[in-house]
Chain A
Amino acid sequence: MSTILLFEQILNGLQFGIMLFLMAAGLTLVFGVMGLINLAHGSLYMVGAFACAAVAAATGSFWLGVAASLAAAAAAGAVIEVAVIRRLYGRDHLDQVLATFALILVFSEGTRWIFGSFPLYLNVPASLSGAVILPGGVAYPTYRLAIIVVGIIVAAGLFALIGKTRIGVQIRAGEADREMIAALGIDIARLYTFVFALGAALAGLAGALVGTIQSVQVGMGEPVLILAFVVIVIGGIGSIKGALVGAILVGLTDTLGRFLLPSLFATMMSESDATSIGSALASMSIYILMALVLIFRPRGLFGATN
């Protein structure tokens, strides 16, 4: 195994992690600030991808598609916050799970009704297609590098927003004690709608960026949603930093596990056994990681202590 291959795989893991971070950031904000379990987060991811595919097909511009994905997902997020989610803050988690699960069905069937059951066409823009040669002779897809860069910019923006701005102070305060900040005269309803729409927009952006290299189809959000939950459990609920670290850990574990485990087992047993045991174990690797983190840090890596 060459170092070039290993380096490429680490980049792949990083890119996968960054993509998961875009999903997990919104989920953890909503969970942390509002105490809401939002299963429909994956649907917002799908809304972003479909909006991007539809607008890119209509206008011929991928970039307009990305802008549309942000707008559509944020708008969908704001609408469901005002219409449905708002009624759930005081309820227990089971009610939230039921209501947001219903939203998944509504979004999936609605999307199927509008766009049909067959995957939509959405491809990488010409300016980002192909591969670039990195120092050291690694050829790497330009588009995946672009995802890493976008992810880093979004992460930096989020940290600045939470840490340096007035709205960030309100969000952190809302996380700590929602009644107190309402008593201090902050319009909590507006703050919640804003946070929810922000989380939705990030999910929509992830959907558009990932839909471009995967398949834009109904139900694409749910598998990612499960991974995003794993990420926020590992990182600690409510923590943006935790979401970032958790996402990159999950991305690297999954990618390197898929790549290294079969070859590791091949040193001990026959090729075909190694392939099947290695692949089976690789699919479990992130859940094993989650279990390990929970044993040693039951509240996740950066979870609040109380």
Chain B
Amino acid sequence: MNSIKTAIAALAALVIASPLQAEPVKVGMITTLSGGGAGLGIDVRDGFMLALKQSGNNDITVVIEDDQRKPDVAVQLADKMIQSDKVDVLTGIIWSNLAMAVVPAVTQQGKFYLSPNAGPSALAGKGCHPNYFNVSWQNDAMNEAAGKYVSEQGVGKVFLMAPNYPAGKDMMNGFKRFYKGEVVEEIYTKLGQTDYAAEIAQMRSSGADMIYYFLPGGMGISFMKQYAGSGVTVPVMGPSFSLSQDVLGAIGDAAIGAKNTSHWSKDIDNEANKKFVETFQAEYGRLPSIYASQGYDTALLLVSAAAKADVKDADAFRAALKEADFASTRGKFKFGPNNHPIQDVFVREVVKEGDVVTNKIIGVAATDHTDVYAAECKM
């Protein structure tokens, strides 16, 4: 629809002026820039472009296209980018169903894929690939940490809700894997659903002690606003997507007090994160979300690998990516055997700072957390 093409072109004069240049890398970014999930894609894009700009590396060029959250569009874009734009690395996909449609084809053609969001279980286990690097998280991970945390808090009965697509299933399975109490009800809604009256009515009569829900983007906004007005007072919790910075402004005070688990938060205390939060705000005039931090980290990883190896030498470039030699905004970051992150998961709570509704870390849910699918990955 609205294909925004951005090219950070290597300035000709600069190329001539500096004799020591890394080999150029061409990146194709397929992400969601229109419709209900646009906020997520825009944050990934902005985070990515910010890190690239700060790196001073002018040999990385980026082609950006909008997938409209449609798997068929994403597949077409990937084909176009590989065949006519001749990209070396693809990135940007937000949604697991789109990732499932695009990533295997990309890696089979010998291109690299860096995931700045979405970590479907199928690509972490049997479907893993040496050219697929997940810089965000495996879908289950944050929810496993949440399941563990909720059990430790002594919550006996939970009500689960997620959209009916691969990530929704992964997230709820992850939660159940570590949760020791009783799941009173488990509901899968349509992806993109905006009215949750029927589900809230079931929550009201379920007798649950906690609602655990995964609803990213506009879905989460709709649900929280309707939940707040429903008179149901059971506490809610979710993975960070449900209560990320991109939706908190629109939900407003209704979200205050809700807990969520996250691998990143704007108040993680390290140099890289401070610089990121500060410069992101200065550049775009809003607080960064987890998606922005993931886009930023993805670009940092790419820049670090491009400085060490030529992207045309796939083995060397792969080894350079695997080292994950960059200062992540989340502090600790390294890749496990299936190229998925090993990282800490924090518990955050939604608070109001001045006029801004945002998240604050209140504890650690899991340290050096990895996913369970690595064992099935043979590569």
Residue numbers of A with Cβ under 8 A of B are 2, 4-5, 8-9, 12-13, 15-16, 105, 108-109, 112, 117-124, 129-131, 139, 141-144, 210, 212-220, 222-223, 255-256, 258-259, 262, 271-272, 275-276, 279-280, 282-283
What is the number of contacts between chain A and chain B, taking CB atoms within 8 Å?
Answer: 135
Q: How far is the CA of A279 from the CA of B168 in the complex (A)?
A: 13
Asked if residues B197 and A119 are in contact (CB atoms below 8 Å), the reply is no
Residues in chain A near residue B286, CB distance under 8 A: 118
Residues in chain B near residue A220, CB distance under 8 A: 36, 194, 218
Asked if residues B188 and A121 are in contact (CB atoms below 8 Å), the reply is no
Residues in chain A near residue B38, CB distance under 8 A: 117, 217-219
List the 7 shortest-distance A-B pairs measured between CB atoms, nearest first.
A131-B231, A12-B197, A215-B218, A119-B250, A215-B221, A219-B35, A214-B222
Q: How far is the CA of A123 from the CA of B186 in the complex (A)?
A: 28
What's the minimum C-beta distance from A87 to chain B, rounded to whole angstroms?
24
Q: How far is the CA of A193 from the CA of B1 in the complex (A)?
A: 30
B187's partner among A120, A219, A279, A280 (CB-CB below 8 A) is A279
Residues in chain A near residue B187, CB distance under 8 A: 262, 275, 279
Q: Is B150 an interface residue (CB 8 A)?
A: no
Q: A119-B221, A276-B164 are in contact. Are A15 and B197 (CB under 8 A)?
A: yes
Residues in chain B near residue A15, CB distance under 8 A: 197
Asked if residues A215 and B249 are in contact (CB atoms below 8 Å), the reply is no
Q: A105-B1, A118-B249, A119-B250 are in contact. Are A217 and B225 (CB under 8 A)?
A: no
Asked if residues A108 and B188 are in contact (CB atoms below 8 Å), the reply is no
Q: How far is the CA of A130 from the CA of B222 in the complex (A)?
A: 16
Residues in chain B near residue A131, CB distance under 8 A: 229-231
- Which residue of chain A has its CB nearest to the CB of B220? A215
Residues in chain B near residue A130, CB distance under 8 A: 229, 231
Residue numbers of B with Cβ under 8 A of A are 1-2, 33-36, 38-39, 42, 164, 186-190, 192, 194-195, 197-199, 201-202, 204-205, 218-219, 221-222, 225-226, 228-231, 246-247, 249-252, 254, 286
Q: How far is the CA of A216 from the CA of B252 in the complex (A)?
A: 13
Asked if residues A219 and B198 are in contact (CB atoms below 8 Å), the reply is no
A109's partner among B2, B39, B251 (CB-CB below 8 A) is B2
A sample of 30 cross-chain residue pairs with beta-carbon separation below 8 angstroms, ordered by A number, consists of A8-B201, A8-B204, A12-B198, A16-B195, A105-B1, A117-B39, A118-B39, A118-B246, A121-B249, A121-B252, A123-B225, A131-B231, A141-B226, A141-B231, A143-B229, A213-B195, A213-B226, A215-B221, A216-B250, A217-B39, A217-B218, A218-B34, A219-B35, A219-B36, A222-B35, A256-B198, A258-B189, A259-B202, A279-B164, A279-B189
A215-B36, A217-B218, A283-B164 known, 12 other contacts, Cβ within 8 Å: A13-B198, A105-B1, A117-B42, A118-B249, A118-B250, A141-B231, A214-B194, A214-B221, A218-B38, A219-B34, A220-B194, A276-B188
Asked if residues A215 and B250 are in contact (CB atoms below 8 Å), the reply is yes
Q: How far is the CA of A271 from the CA of B187 in the complex (A)?
A: 11
Residues in chain A near residue B33, CB distance under 8 A: 117
Q: How far is the CA of A218 from the CA of B254 in the complex (A)?
A: 22
Q: How far is the CA of A304 from the CA of B375 in the complex (A)?
A: 64
Residues in chain A near residue B201, CB distance under 8 A: 5, 8-9, 12, 259
Asked if residues B225 and A255 are in contact (CB atoms below 8 Å), the reply is no
Q: How far is the CA of A118 from the CA of B38 in the complex (A)?
A: 8
What's the minimum C-beta distance from B68 to chain A, rounded to whole angstroms?
9
Q: How far is the CA of A5 from the CA of B33 in the complex (A)?
A: 39
Residues in chain A near residue B246, CB distance under 8 A: 118
Residues in chain B near residue A279, CB distance under 8 A: 164, 187-190
Asked if residues B186 and A275 are in contact (CB atoms below 8 Å), the reply is yes
- Which residue of chain B has its CB nearest to the CB of A117? B38
What's the minimum C-beta distance from A264 to chain B, rounded to whole angstroms?
14
Residues in chain A near residue B36, CB distance under 8 A: 215, 217, 219-220
Q: How far is the CA of A139 from the CA of B247 in the complex (A)?
A: 27
Residues in chain A near residue B228, CB distance under 8 A: 129
Residues in chain B near residue A280, CB distance under 8 A: 164
A259's partner among B34, B42, B198 (CB-CB below 8 A) is B198
Q: How far is the CA of A8 from the CA of B202 in the complex (A)?
A: 9
Residues in chain A near residue B249, CB distance under 8 A: 118-119, 121
- Which residue of chain A has its CB nearest to the CB of B69? A219
Asked if residues B254 and A123 are in contact (CB atoms below 8 Å), the reply is yes
